[in-house]
Amino acid sequence: MRIGFDARCLEEENISGVGEYALELLKNILKLDSLNQYIIFSNSFRQKNGRHFEWINAHPNAKLKRFSFPNKVFNLCFWYLNWPKIDKLIGGVDVFFAPNINFLSVSDACRLVTTFHDLSFERYPHFFPLKTRLWHKYFVNPRKISRIAKGMIAVSESTKKDLEEIYQVRKENIQVIPHGISQDFRAMEKNDPKLAATRKKYGLPQKFIFFLGNIEPRKNISSIIEAYKSVVLKNPKLSEYKLVLAGNINSLCRDLIEKEDVKICGYIEREDRPYVYNLASLFVYPSFFEGFGLPILEAMACGTPVIASNNSSLPEVSGKATLPIDPNRPAELAEAMENILIDENLYNKFKKRGIAQAQKFSWEKCAKETLAVIHQHK
């Protein structure tokens, strides 16, 4: 069988959570399956980055088809003409797998299998700029993709429920397959020299409360800042803990961030993230809505206690290994921050629970279950 894999999300130098998912999934699928032929499709006019593709040549059953069409023209062709057919463009495949929603078109002879990470743009459109809302509604059209896909993967039961309720997808057509976690996300010895080097590289304080993700309204950044200021005001001894936010800053949050006394790290390189989690005293993730919430899984695997929202997919990922809070109540987040920082027993309890919970997830398991879905539609 010939299987196409859409790797366009790997063209960026700094890949997001979706890019991490696609990269780890592809690596593990090629480790597991040496019988089928894989055609890896990508496109970028400038082709700025190649490091996410270099390893593919080591697999004799995988071939990279990387094009350099101008993306705006390419995407307009998909939108207006429903052309070109990607499966034909890459030499013909039986199944085309898309690890995320993107502009695409395949021929009737090819079966499309795609992953839906979340429908936050449907549930909470006010959290997104107008350009993003229009992009989802009129251009990429996820609802249309949900109708033409022969197989659909949801990364959580929460996302599966949204697909059923919002797009009226039959539940038997959706397979829930959670993300995995890489083995380099682990608790480390405090004398590991790479920890000190990472602290210096990003200018991190000795003790800090940490958030990692896109700095945008959906992530509830304003509540993180409000809760932190409340904790320090109530208990001045905790002012030794600084607040560190890492991630790409959305335009809707820029004014908020610029006027607050917080440490902004920007993008944390993939190889540095396990060390930053280990350096953090506490990880907070009071998001209003998540399709999965990979950062809380990464933090738990590194032995960093986690405070996370009690909504959407987050309870599925965290089990009983995080301190749950209502994201609409900053005072509740502040109380949780203070309790876990001053109570050593509570701190150690959630540290141990987090490590144990994270061990339930792996990219190998994710790849095996994804292959099973692909094979159902050969």
- In this prediction, residue 363 has a pLDDT band, given cuts at 50, 70 and 90, of very high
> Could you give the maximum distance between any two Cα atoms of the chain, in Å?
66
Q: Which of 53-67, 128-142, 184-198 has the lowest mean pLDDT?
A: 128-142
Instruction: Decide if 102 contacts 144 (C-beta within 8 A).
Output: no
pLDDT at 131: 78
For residue 123, what pLDDT is reported?
92
Domains defined along the chain, listed by start = 2-180+363-376 (3.40.50.2000), 193-358 (3.40.50.2000)
* Section 54-73 average pLDDT: 94
- In the predicted structure, residue 9 carries a pLDDT above the cut 80: yes
How far apart are alpha carbons 192 and 114 in whole angstroms? 40
Q: Are the CB atoms for 258 and 251 separated by under 8 Å?
A: no
Q: Quick check: 174 and 154 in contact, CB under 8 A? A: yes
* Token reading at 273: 């993230």
Coil, strand, or helix at residue 102?
coil
Instruction: Give the span between the Cα atoms of 42 and 149, in whole angstroms.
Output: 20
Asked if residue 362 has pLDDT above 80, the reply is: yes
Q: Quick one: what percent of the chain has pLDDT higher than 90?
A: 83
pLDDT above 70: percentage of residues in the chain: 99
List, for residues 13-37, the tens digit of each pLDDT value.
888 889 999 999 999 999 999 999 9
Residue 325: how many other CB atoms lie within 10 Å: 25
- Of 131-145, 265-279, 351-365, least confident by mean pLDDT is 131-145
Query: Residues with Cβ < 8 Å from 103, sequence gap 6 or more?
Result: 74, 75, 78, 79, 139, 140
Per residue in 116-168, pLDDT tens?
999 999 999 888 877 778 777 767 889 999 999 999 999 999 999 999 999 99
State the burial class of residue 138 (Cβ atoms within 10 Å of its Cβ: 0-12, 13-18, 19+). exposed
- Band of pLDDT at residue 345, cut at 50, 70 and 90: very high
Q: What is the pLDDT of residue 137?
A: 72
- How much is the pLDDT for 27? 97
**Residue range 334-339: mean pLDDT, rounded:** 98
> Is residue 352 very low, low, confident or very high in pLDDT (cuts 50, 70, 90)?
very high
Q: Mind listing the pLDDT tens digit for each residue in 273-284?
A: 999 999 999 999
